[in-house]
Amino acid sequence: MATYCCGAQGPEVASIQQKLKDAGIYNGPIDGIFGGGTESAVRAFQRRVNLTADGIVDPATWAKLFAGAAPGETEMKQPAITAEPLALRCLALTGSFETALPLPDCFAGLSGNFDGQGISFGVCQWNLGQNSLQPLFSELSDTEAKLVDAIFHDYAAEFRKMIASPHEEQMEWASSIQDARHNLVEPWLGLFKSLGRTPEFQAIQASHASRLFQGALDLCHEFDVGSERAAALMFDIKVQNGSISDLVRTQIERDYAGIPADEAANAVEALRLQIIANRRAQACNPQWVADVRDRKLTIANGAGTVHGRRYDLEAQYGIGLGAFAPA
C-alpha cells in the first residue's frame, strides 16, 4: 500500500503540496520534497477532516485531499519512480542521499569545497578533487559546444580553460568562485544550476551513472548477493566510496562464514548486506564513518534515516529483497 510521509520525494508529493496549498494550509514551495512543513500541513488537513493527524498521506487522507479532483487523480498512486528500471531507481535513491533532491532536480545538485573536493556536481556528485567530474565536463565541451556557449556566454572561455588546466589549477579556480563557507557565488552558481537542468548534460550524467551501475552489478556477483536492495547498496558504494578493497573483502568473507547455515535465503541476503554495509563504513575516514554507516545500513535494512530524512526503499523506490534481472 502506497503512503507518503516525511522523506518522500517526487511528483506525487508535489501534487499533495499543491492540494494543501489550494486548501489554504500549506505556504511552502511546490518542490516535491515531503519535509517538516509538508508534514505539518498534512496534520492540519487531517484534523480539519476528522482523520488521525499523523502527518502520513495514506489512502484515506489521499481520498479526502483529492476529493472532487479529476477521476484519474482521486485514486492514490504509487510513486512513479517505482515503475522505472532498477538502474534509474537506484540512481534516484543515491541521488537523494547525495543532493537531498528528487529526480530530475538532483541532476543539478551542486556543492562547494566543504569536503576538500573543490566542486561536487550532479546526481552522483562527481567532483574535481577526485577527477571524477572532469570527464563529464570534457565530454560536454567536446560534444555540446553550442550548449556550453549558450549556458556560459561570456564565461565559456574560462570554463573551457579550466577543463584543460592542470588539476592543481582546477582546484584553485574552484576555491576562487566560492565564499568563506564554501558556497558557490554568482554567476557560477546559476550557470552550473542551469547546466544541470539541461537534457543534454543530464544525458551525459545518466551515461556515466550507467557505467557505475554495471560496476555495482559486478560487485553483486563477486559478493554473492542478488537482490534489488543489493544492487542499490553496491551502486551507492560505487558512487560514494569507489569500490571495496581486498582487505575489506577478506573481512566480509570472514563475516559471511558466521551466518548460520539454516537461515532462509532472504535472511541470508539481508545479513550479507548488513555485513557489507558495516565493513565498508568501517573502512572510511573516521570523520565520515557514522554518516556512511547510516546510509549503507538504510539500504541494507530497507529503511532508515539519513541526514534527518526517513527512507523506506520498498515504498518510495520499489527496491526490495526480490532478485534483480541478470545483466
Residue 108 makes CB contacts below 8 A (sequence gap 6+) with 101, 122, 192, 193, 195, 196, 197
Whole-prediction pTM value? 0.90
Q: Which helix (H) or strand (E) holds 308?
A: none
How many other β-carbons are positioned within 10 Å of the β-carbon of residue 250? Answer: 11
Nearest to 189 by CA among 121, 136, 94: 121
Beta strands in the chain (DSSP E): 110-111, 120-121, 126-127, 303-306, 309-312
Q: List, for residues 43-53, the tens digit of each pLDDT value.
A: 999 999 999 99
Nearest to 102 by CA among 317, 264, 258, 256: 317
Q: List, for residues 9-65, the tens digit of each pLDDT value.
A: 999 999 999 999 999 999 999 999 999 999 999 999 999 999 999 999 999 999 999
Nearest to 313 by CA among 238, 225, 232, 241: 232
Cell of 159: 570554463
Predicted pLDDT of residue 77: 81
Residue that has been written with the C-alpha cell 560536454 in this structure: 140
Nearest to 259 by CA among 271, 247, 270: 271
Reported as a pLDDT band with limits 50, 70 and 90, residue 247 is very high
Q: Give me the residue spans of the domains in the chain.
A: 11-77, 107-196, 205-317
Amino acid at 84: E
Q: List, for residues 168-215, the tens digit of each pLDDT value.
A: 999 999 999 999 999 999 999 999 999 999 999 999 999 999 999 999
HEC per residue, 274-291: HHHHHHHHHCCCCCCHHH
Q: List, for residues 85-131, the tens digit of each pLDDT value.
A: 999 999 999 999 999 998 899 999 999 999 999 999 999 999 999 99
Prior bond to 11 cis, omega within 30? no
> Could you name the CATH architecture of 11-77?
Orthogonal Bundle (1.10)
Residue 250 makes CB contacts below 8 A (sequence gap 6+) with none
Amino acid at 132: S
